[in-house]
């Protein structure tokens, strides 16, 4: 059979790159670059993960048959069963738990790795069963910047298309390293601003990252103290009268409250907390206030308990400097996975409906009940951390689709102990992950290229990806598994779908911002549409040009105050431990570890230590060291390098770092402390 070029969206980060999967006889042989569609985000280009993305699909480790646990939880002993038996076991268990404890003992997780249509169905199934305990592993991703920007601007989405980044006069990387985490975005847009248009780059990061060599100014705060810098920048911009007075007067509310809240946060105060020289903070603030700025704010800001405050302060800064609502600026949330938006926009959260409204909104519930035909529970469910905390108590069963929480959640040791206490766990995945080891039933899912569906990039592009390969063995697409399980549960009448197109047509009706993103429109326009796409062919490229998405159309400036990180270094644990991503690895490695071209280039974890700290501890590059926090310890090789500031150590997050992170959460956003914990390092004799 001849080779066929199937247009697909890349399955890793959320830049939304397109390419072709070269398919023959139901297998993917390689990828080919898409230079045929000049308006796609990646303009043909790909990063190493994109190029290698056909490899994990063909891994011999893929799940091929439904499995039932025969050993202890976590032991990884399973036997093969038929789909009929798997559905029967799951359905009877759901029925039993509902009868014994009520539907509120069951929790569902959606996934940023499955399609828009599939997340919609996970949400619909959880509500049909009667539970609002619904969340996804991305709870620890954008849930600082997202609520902050919603509070200020009414929506957290990217303000401008990528092409505007190249037109910016200043670029700020704040806890973000796109040269490594989004190389195509960096190369096609950001680097053009910096190298071709001479925009200065400010990097705010305790590490020197790959983009750092282009930086004019590098602020190296201790992890978790970015808030102090943001507060001091607000203080400088306001006290020096550098803010955009017309913009503040005409388009914002709450300026006086903000001014009052930051009046004592001088750069000298911030220097004491963050270790960043006051003059550098002043210089950065003045540049931001006077130049059209593209802001890249990501996990270095987000993944802290005080991340909400930091994100609010940065959003305040963006607003009062008028760096929003026009061309040539950029800011917005940057989900780490290709379908982060697919989860967020289908309302996969403990308090949301797919329409974007709240479960507590009676009118919105009634509207959805009319569309769906069954009653919707009215109570607010648990976020992911609370779900896991409540296992063995209020939560008896979990249904996890495409997530590896045994590795991705903070304090992995504790998470695994909790998973052992579940009455029943279903894991639907493409690989036997660390989480699947705790499952009672494992359902083998089709991988990204083995199904048709919709993805949404962080540029707000809604794009279609098409089936290019057959799933191995008996694996089935996630949407079909949900449809078949619903039938077994007696809910078949609400899940009458035989193709993802039918699910997308329902989404077109239920979720207003996707009204125009029809299967037909997206098939004809591979470059996709920018949501809100209310009618086919319409899209919104620049947000907030005339009004914000708040009820009064103004940006609501928020007063903001300093909040200590929950753990700071002390005598016993003298270092700040933070973590980062590698360009050739992705999340918990379930797919990249099965990609030979990636695994051999990025084979292992390590811990970065500043030479001065290493000298005191007698540690050299390559030494085996034990890194410990109050949660646990891991063994890892040391890398002694100037690219980390003194007093801070850092590890890539794809391996074991979550045995060390902290499961305390922010009371509003439920964000945990993943990026700043107190740690010690000791050399281990080999």
Partner 1 sequence: MAHKKIFLDYKRCIGCKACEVACEMTHGNARIKIFEFPDLFTVPFNCRHCEKAPCLNVCPTGALFRDEDGAVAFNPLSCIGCLMCAVACPFGVPKLDEENKIMEKCDLCADRRAEGLLPACVSACPTEALKFGEINEVLWDKEGKVVANLKSSAEKGEGEKALIVL
| Token pair in block for residue 152 | 């200020």
Nearest partner of 333 among 671, 657, 673, 676, judged by Cα: 671
Q: Which of 95, 213, 496, 616 touches partner 1 by CB under 8 A?
A: 213
Q: Does 191 bind partner 1 (CB under 8 A)?
A: yes
Q: By CB under 8 A, which span of 56-64, 154-162, 211-219, 328-336 interacts with partner 1?
A: 211-219
Whether the CA torsion 479, 60, 13, 587 is positive or negative: it is positive
Q: Which of 8, 13, 21, 51 touches partner 1 by CB under 8 A?
A: 51
Q: By CB under 8 A, which span of 82-90, 359-367, 404-412, 635-643 interacts with partner 1?
A: 635-643
# residues near partner 1 by CB under 8 A: 38
Q: Does 593 bind partner 1 (CB under 8 A)?
A: no
Q: Which of 5, 27, 33, 541 touches partner 1 by CB under 8 A?
A: 33
Q: Does 469 bind partner 1 (CB under 8 A)?
A: no
Q: Which of 76, 130, 187, 559 touches partner 1 by CB under 8 A?
A: 187
Q: Does 64 bind partner 1 (CB under 8 A)?
A: no
Which of 124/207 has CB closer to partner 1? Answer: 207
Which of 225/585 has CB closer to partner 1? Answer: 585
Q: Does 601 bind partner 1 (CB under 8 A)?
A: yes
Pairwise CA distance, residues 298 & 285, whole Å: 19
Q: For residue 686, how many other CB atoms are within 10 A of its CB?
A: 5
Pairwise CA distance, residues 59 & 28, whole Å: 12
**Residue 191 Cβ vs partner 1, minimum distance, rounded to whole Å:** 5
Q: What is the DSSP letter of 193?
A: I
Q: Does 45 bind partner 1 (CB under 8 A)?
A: yes
CA distances from 25 to 28, 426, 452 (A): 8, 32, 17
**Cβ atoms of 107 and 115 closer than 8 Å:** no
**Cβ atoms of 277 and 160 closer than 8 Å:** no
With helix as H, strand as E and coil as C, how does 611-631 read? HHHHHHHCCCCCCEEEEECCC
Nearest partner of 674 among 185, 285, 299, 370, judged by Cα: 299
Nearest partner of 618 among 627, 629, 609, 628, judged by Cα: 609
Residues in the chain: 686
Q: Which of 9, 13, 31, 342 touches partner 1 by CB under 8 A?
A: 31
Q: By CB under 8 A, which span of 45-53, 69-77, 330-338, 551-559 interacts with partner 1?
A: 45-53
CA distances from 427 to 110, 430, 594 (A): 11, 10, 19
**Cβ atoms of 478 and 118 closer than 8 Å:** yes
Q: Which of 37, 48, 327, 390 touches partner 1 by CB under 8 A?
A: 48
| Token pair in block for residue 96 | 């039993």
Classify residue 250 by burial, with Cβ atoms within 10 Å: 0-12, 13-18, 19+: exposed
> Which 437-466 positions form the footprint of partner 1 (CB under 8 A)?
none
Q: Does 188 bind partner 1 (CB under 8 A)?
A: yes
Q: Does 371 bind partner 1 (CB under 8 A)?
A: no
Q: Does 2 bind partner 1 (CB under 8 A)?
A: no
**Residue 601 Cβ vs partner 1, minimum distance, rounded to whole Å:** 6
Pairwise CA distance, residues 424 & 107, whole Å: 11
Q: Which of 44, 377, 536, 574 touches partner 1 by CB under 8 A?
A: 44
Pairwise CA distance, residues 135 & 400, whole Å: 10
Q: Does 58 bind partner 1 (CB under 8 A)?
A: no
**Window 146-185: contact mask with partner 1 (x via CB under 8 A):** ---------------------------------xx--xx-
Which of 3/256 has CB closer to partner 1? Answer: 3
Pairwise CA distance, residues 80 & 133, whole Å: 29
Q: Does 14 bind partner 1 (CB under 8 A)?
A: no
Which of 196/685 has CB closer to partner 1? Answer: 196
Q: Does 248 bind partner 1 (CB under 8 A)?
A: no
Tell me which residues touch partner 1 (CB under 8 A).
Answer: 30-33, 35, 42, 44-48, 50-52, 179-180, 183-184, 186-188, 191, 195-196, 198, 208, 210-213, 583-584, 597-598, 601, 641-643
């Amino acid at each position: 059979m001849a080779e066929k070029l199937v247009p697909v969206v890349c399955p890793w980060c959320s830049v939304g790159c397109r390419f072709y999967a070269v398919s023959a006889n139901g297998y993917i042989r390689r990828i080919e670059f898409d230079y045929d569609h000049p308006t796609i985000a990646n303009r043909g280009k790909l990063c190493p993960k994109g190029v290698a993305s056909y490899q994990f699909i063909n891994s011999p480790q893929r799940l091929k048959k439904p499995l039932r646990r025969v050993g202890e939880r976590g032991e990884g002993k399973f036997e093969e069963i038929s789909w009929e038996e798997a559905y029967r076991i799951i359905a009877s268990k759901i029925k039993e738990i509902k009868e014994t404890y009520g539907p509120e003992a069951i929790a569902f997780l959606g996934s940023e790795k499955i399609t828009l249509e599939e997340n919609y169905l996970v949400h619909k199934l959880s509500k049909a069963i009667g539970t609002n305990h619904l969340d996804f592993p991305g709870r620890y991703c954008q849930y600082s910047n997202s609520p902050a920007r919603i509070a200020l601007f009414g929506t957290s989405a990217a303000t401008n298309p990528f092409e505007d980044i190249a037109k910016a006069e200043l670029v700020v990387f704040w806890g973000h390293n796109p040269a490594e985490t989004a190389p195509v975005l960096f190369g096609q847009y950001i680097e053009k601003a910096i190298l071709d248009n001479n925009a200065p780059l400010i990097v705010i990061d305790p590490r020197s990252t790959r983009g750092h060599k282009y930086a004019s100014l590098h602020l190296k705060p201790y992890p978790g103290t970015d808030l102090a810098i943001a507060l001091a920048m607000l203080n400088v911009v306001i006290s020096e009268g550098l803010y955009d007075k017309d913009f503040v007067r005409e388009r914002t509310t709450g300026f006086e409250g903000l001014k009052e809240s930051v009046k004592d946060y001088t750069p000298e105060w911030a220097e004491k907390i963050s270790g960043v020289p006051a003059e550098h903070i002043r210089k950065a603030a003045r540049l931001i206030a006077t130049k059209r700025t593209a802001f890249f704010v990501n996990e270095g800001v987000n993944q802290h308990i005080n991340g909400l405050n930091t994100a609010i302060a940065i959003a305040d800064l963006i607003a009062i400097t008028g760096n929003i609502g026009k061309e040539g600026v950029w800011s917005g949330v940057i989900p780490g996975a290709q379908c982060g938006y697919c989860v967020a926009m289908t309302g996969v959260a403990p308090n949301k409906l797919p329409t974007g409204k709240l479960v507590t909104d009676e009118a919105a519930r009634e509207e959805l009940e009319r569309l769906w035909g069954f009653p919707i529970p009215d109570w607010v469910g648990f976020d992911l951390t609370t779900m896991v905390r409540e296992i063995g108590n209020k939560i008896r069963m979990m249904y996890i689709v495409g997530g590896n929480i045994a590795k991705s959640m903070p304090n992995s040791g504790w998470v695994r102990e909790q998973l052992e206490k579940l009455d029943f766990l279903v894991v639907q995945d493409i690989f036997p992950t660390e989480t699947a080891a705790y499952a009672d039933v494992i359902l083998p899912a089709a991988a990204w290229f083995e199904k048709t569906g919709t993805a949404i990039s962080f540029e707000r592009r809604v794009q279609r990806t098409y089936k290019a390969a057959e799933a191995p063995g008996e694996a089935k697409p996630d949407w079909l598994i949900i449809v078949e399980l619903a039938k077994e549960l007696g809910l078949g009448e609400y899940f009458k779908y035989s193709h993802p197109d039918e699910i997308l047509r329902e989404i077109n009706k239920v979720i207003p911002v996707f009204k125009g993103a029809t299967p037909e429109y997206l098939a004809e326009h591979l470059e996709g549409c920018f949501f809100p796409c209310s009618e086919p062919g319409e899209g919104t490229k620049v947000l907030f040009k005339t009004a914000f998405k708040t009820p009064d159309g103004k940006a609501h400036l928020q007063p903001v105050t300093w909040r200590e990180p929950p753990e700071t270094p002390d005598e016993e644990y003298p270092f700040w431990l933070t973590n980062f991503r590698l360009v050739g690895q992705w999340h918990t490695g379930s797919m990249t570890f099965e990609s030979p071209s990636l695994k051999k280039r990025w084979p292992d974890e390590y811990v970065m230590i500043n030479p001065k700290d290493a000298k005191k501890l007698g540690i050299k590059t390559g030494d085996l060291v034990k890194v410990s926090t109050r949660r646990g310890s891991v063994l890892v090789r040391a890398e002694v390098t100037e690219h980390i500031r003194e007093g801070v150590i850092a590890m890539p997050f794809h391996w074991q770092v979550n045995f060390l992170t902290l499961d305390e959460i922010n009371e509003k956003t439920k964000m945990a402390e993943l990026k700043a914990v107190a740690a010690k390092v000791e050399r281990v004799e080999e």
